[in-house]
Structure 1
């Protein structure tokens, strides 16, 4: 698939993520997300006895993948499977939508923070963002940053 002008192999990303320390399984999806274009999403299950955070996994992934191949990472209990044992890609697409709808932890404290959060949400196509959210972790990229700067 093409993501921001780069040709990427989802299987290659998935293999790199599955080989990260503490990861049992990985599934990668590429989905269109409005103004941002195609976005990569990865859903990871942890190996028994491991308790890693998304930030820790993201750090490991940065060492193995170029920036344009880094997906939005989410840790899940188990990957969704259909009755025949194959990966349920429709459920992954629904989860990707929920990932972007569930962001926005700490609320803005000042009028300036509220304005910036509103502009970020518009550019990223989200309902809301929190003041501690990471623009790039939410799917932002250099072209979206230009749009952000112009607003």
Structure 2
């Protein structure tokens, strides 16, 4: 059974992909080797600016969950810009999440669920992935969450 068109699913979820920005340093936002795309870490944003804060101090687990979901949407936008068609995504393979958190905060996995759930909502079974969620002392620019993903994509006429 074919899965639903990804753009129809995004519309159903009331998700509009944002405009993709350029990388902020000497790296690419997405690199593809064969049928695997590697997306660089994306920082959480709120109102178009880096969402700064530390989980367990200034931010709650629920706010972190929303931040991780917003990162997943930005990752989809980058993937769309790279592939030209999100229907070419065959599977979200692996996600790594860095959660800017206090030493006693242990809810990194709950924060990261914001992104994991979004990928499952959009891609169904193909959105379920292997994952690591780390608590870190700091993330670039003070962002609360940074997430990177590895994605299997259809090449050429090989459609998802």
TM-score, reference length from structure 2 = 0.27
If each structure's helix is expressed as a fraction of its own residues, which one has the higher value? 1
If each structure's strand is expressed as a fraction of its own residues, which one has the higher value? 2
TM-score, reference length from structure 1 = 0.28
